[in-house]
Structure 1
Amino acid sequence: MNILKIAQSCRTLVLASLFGFSASALSSNYSIYAAYVNEEIEDACLSFDNCELNLLEQAQFESIIVSYLDEQQRLTDDGTPAHLLATLQSGEYELLAGSAKFNAGDTDVSQIEYTLNWRGIPIFEITTLQNGLSLEDAVLSSVKTLVEEIEAQHVLHPQFLFQQVEASDYFNELSMPENVAGFYRQQMQLQQDPTRGTLVRYEHEQFPSAIIDVYVYPIVKHDYQDKQQELMYLELSKDLQVIEAISEHRDIQSINIGEISSIENGMVFEVQADDGVEEMYTSQYIFVQEDKFIKFSANMPAQFSDVMVQEVMSSIAVPPPSEIMNAFRDVDRAFSTTPAQEYADESNTEDTAEVAVTAAL
């Protein structure tokens, strides 16, 4: 992972916010920001006559980019424009755009640089060159290239993100049995967020409606090794809250929610409900291995899923801690042990952002 790029990204975002380009200062729903071009592009531009840098502001970039993507999602069957628009509204991603214009001989040259960040970490970069176009037309042309490259390189697919941020390699390093206690493993599915890990579904060979989902995902807290029992309890408590909210929303009157109880190396709770049409069951288990939670969600009473869960836990091997999660835990440790005022000091906002991320990585 390129630490320098991450530190530079933090600096760019802080500077952008100082000049009014932050999301909070705008009515925009899209995380698109004007940013300074990198030093290589700046030096190349300055070597030509009439070099002009960072000409377009955030509102201009956003208007051109969003208008093009919106038009394309309506006119074509290609899902990339719609996916990119949704991604830039998610709060997890941001698109930084920089511009440079210079004269090379008798030709005006426009250079547009894009960086797509996930949580401030650069995961994809592209630079385009256009000759003889106005800067606005050059941006429009560059957006077409941006979309084509995002589609060609599968940039918006979870596997691309996992690889770029050096998250755990679940496809190659997560070992789980193919079949166990009458259940057969289905295809693994990465979650959209590396902190949510992956999902593996097991279906029963004789009863296809009998399903056990296994979620394997990293623990973000830096002190997880000392607080495994507490953290497992908190995770299952979140599931209980979701179940209670769903039952209330669906007005399910007959529901029995069991207490969270300890089992060997883990915890479990059961739920039985009747919505007037059918009886419903869920059994939720949680364990910890390495730096990962292993959570089982079975749509059956625990007496039928216990054996399967026990056999999977006896053979499962999770990936080792990843670089990105080690970095997140270092940041969590820093914010847990340092007085909040040090991070709230506005005079050191830029330095704090760089130090926190760079030190973590």
Structure 2
Amino acid sequence: MRTLLLFIGCWLLAACSTTNEIVLANYATDLEQKYPPVSLFLKQPSEELNKDCAAYDKLPLMRECKVNPIPLQQLVDEAQASGLFEETYYTNSNADYQLSITTTYYLGGKVSELGNAILSGLTLMTLPMKKQILIKTDSLLTWRGIPIAHLQQEIPYTSRTSLTSSSDDPYRNPAKSVISHILNELQGQQSFSEEVLVSKLNSTNYRQDLHLPDELVDFIFDSQTQFRHPFWGTQLRYVHNQFAFDYVDIFIYPVRDWRWDNTTEQLAAESQRVRKDIEFYADRDHFNQLQFNNERTLNLGSGSQARPVAAFDGILTNSAGERLLTHTYLFIKEDKFVKLRATFNITDNDTTPALDGVVAQLINEGVVPKESLFMSELRNKWRADAR
């Protein structure tokens, strides 16, 4: 009798310690910069998937098909736990990047599993019942509704259940597995890179098609950033060849209007927007005072390259009473604004002539990409809507 009780106790312990078997895919976590915010959604199954599920349910030996059994919140939690994203949202329609996921459980029905099920019933469910599950995923990553990546995957999963082994969170491991496979493939396709977005949108590839001099008067090229949103364009920084703390930033981005050839009107409107941006950042950085000087209209560049340039300065005063002189230049080349921003400590030396020369060199020697297909189509829509 004692031997029988010991045997039953060991059997119960084995049942309680049973674990599920999941397959995790590897993905890189040591990113130089996190991916932009992403919002997750459950994607409704296609008509084809519904038919496939219905046909699978009719097969013998405990076959069953379940569509979207994994709760969306579980998928969101696992995406957040990956640490790859700046933010991870639950059905936030305002997020630029959106990931819609369909998961489908195909529960297998092998004779051995059926035998386990019967035996579990005969032994008060102490023997774990092993379920072989194939998880199929259908995922779509979009940027503002434009498809970026479409993934379809099949992931094996083994579930073990019994009366004495229960899980308070039966979908956590499947969710972890699904998210790991999706992230693995998205990384393999570099789906969150600026280059992929440029390719999918047919927007401007500034790294490839923008050509500016390596040196602009006394400033030497240092770095370039291409922003993900096509409206934001690119930013280049040039550092002074003697004074490392002095630099100029050059921003190049499309005119966000279908009338981009109306230089005077567009420069005036953009100049006001730039002033508001400077005011915002001055307030954010706790400057006590910002005073703009009157705007100047210059004509810089040589020969056929010459064009009007809007220029204005401002004086920033911080809490210690220190004053900084901030310069802004703005002109249009091709269908894009070219904006130069620079801020220096106020000294006896006037920095304006040097920056005038920088802008003139930019106009004469800089090659700005032509209008992209993305902006052309968008402007055609704006033009039609304005009629």
State the TM-score, normalized to the length of structure 1: 0.72
Give, in angstroms, the shift of residue 271 of structure 1: 0.8
Aligned position for 2:136: 111
Quick check: 1:32 aligned with 2:40? yes
Quick check: 1:271 aligned with 2:321? no
Q: Percent identity?
A: 20
Query: Aligned letter for 2:263?
Result: Q
Rounded to whole Å, the distance in 1 between the matches of 2:65 and 2:266 is 50
Aligned position for 2:220: 184
Query: Aligned letter for 2:209?
Result: E
- Shift of the 245–100 alpha-carbon distance from structure 1 to 2, 3 Å rule, reads closer
Aligned position for 1:323: 373
- Shift of the 248–93 alpha-carbon distance from structure 1 to 2, 3 Å rule, reads closer
- Shift of the 223–258 alpha-carbon distance from structure 1 to 2, 3 Å rule, reads same
Aligned position for 1:285: 329
Rounded to whole Å, the distance in 2 between the matches of 1:282 and 1:171 is 27
3-state secondary structure, aligned to 1:91? coil
Quick check: 1:171 aligned with 2:204? no
State the Cα deviation string for residues 41-80 of structure 1 (Å, max 9, x = none).
63993695238988328xx54312121123333xxxxxx2
**RMSD (CA atoms):** 3.2
The count of residues paired between Structure 1 and Structure 2 equals 297
Query: Aligned letter for 1:66?
Result: V
State the Cα deviation string for residues 176-219 of structure 1 (Å, max 9, x = none).
00112111112221113122111111111011222111111112
- Shift of the 204–86 alpha-carbon distance from structure 1 to 2, 3 Å rule, reads farther
- Please tell me whether the aligned partners of residues 45 and 102 of structure 1 are also in contact (alpha carbons under 8 angstroms): no
Query: Aligned letter for 2:235?
Result: L
Query: Aligned letter for 1:182?
Result: D
Query: Aligned letter for 2:210?
Result: L
1:66 is matched with which residue: 76, 84, 89? 76
Quick check: 1:85 aligned with 2:91? no
Which entry has the higher C-alpha Rg, 1 or 2? Answer: 2
Give, in angstroms, the shift of residue 283 of structure 1: 1.0
3-state secondary structure, aligned to 2:383? helix
Rounded to whole Å, the distance in 1 between the matches of 2:244 and 2:228 is 26
Give, in angstroms, the shift of residue 154 of structure 1: 3.0
- Shift of the 214–34 alpha-carbon distance from structure 1 to 2, 3 Å rule, reads same
Rounded to whole Å, the distance in 2 between the matches of 1:146 and 1:44 is 25
Q: 5+ unaligned residues in a row in structure 1: which ranges?
A: 1-28, 74-79, 338-361
Give, in angstroms, the shift of residue 233 of structure 1: 1.7
Counterpart mapping for 1:1-361 below 5 A: 31-37=39-45, 42=49, 45=52, 49-50=56-57, 55-56=67-68, 61-73=71-83, 80=84, 82-83=85-86, 85=88, 91-102=95-106, 106=110, 108-132=133-157, 136=171, 138-225=174-261, 227-248=262-283, 250=286, 252-253=288-289, 255-264=290-299, 265-275=308-318, 276-300=320-344, 301-337=351-387
- Shift of the 38–49 alpha-carbon distance from structure 1 to 2, 3 Å rule, reads closer
More helix by share: 1
- Please tell me whether the aligned partners of residues 49 and 104 of structure 1 are also in contact (alpha carbons under 8 angstroms): no
State the Cα deviation string for residues 137-163 of structure 1 (Å, max 9, x = none).
544422111122233333223233222
- Please tell me whether the aligned partners of residues 233 and 260 of structure 1 are also in contact (alpha carbons under 8 angstroms): no
Give, in angstroms, the shift of residue 175 of structure 1: 0.8
- Shift of the 53–47 alpha-carbon distance from structure 1 to 2, 3 Å rule, reads closer
State the Cα deviation string for residues 271-293 of structure 1 (Å, max 9, x = none).
12333443211111111111111
State the TM-score, normalized to the length of structure 2: 0.67
Rounded to whole Å, the distance in 1 between the matches of 2:199 and 2:90 is 18
3-state secondary structure, aligned to 1:63? helix
Give, in angstroms, the shift of residue 87 of structure 1: 11
Query: Aligned letter for 1:142?
Result: V
- Please tell me whether the aligned partners of residues 50 and 103 of structure 1 are also in contact (alpha carbons under 8 angstroms): no
Query: Aligned letter for 1:296?
Result: L
3-state secondary structure, aligned to 1:310? helix
Give, in angstroms, the shift of residue 133 of structure 1: 5.3
Q: 5+ unaligned residues in a row in structure 2: which ranges?
A: 1-36, 59-63, 111-131, 160-169, 300-307, 345-350
- Shift of the 56–217 alpha-carbon distance from structure 1 to 2, 3 Å rule, reads same
3-state secondary structure, aligned to 1:31? strand
3-state secondary structure, aligned to 1:201? strand
- Please tell me whether the aligned partners of residues 159 and 190 of structure 1 are also in contact (alpha carbons under 8 angstroms): no
State the Cα deviation string for residues 312-349 of structure 1 (Å, max 9, x = none).
11111111221222232233234333xxxxxxxxxxxx
Rounded to whole Å, the distance in 2 between the matches of 1:174 and 1:87 is 38
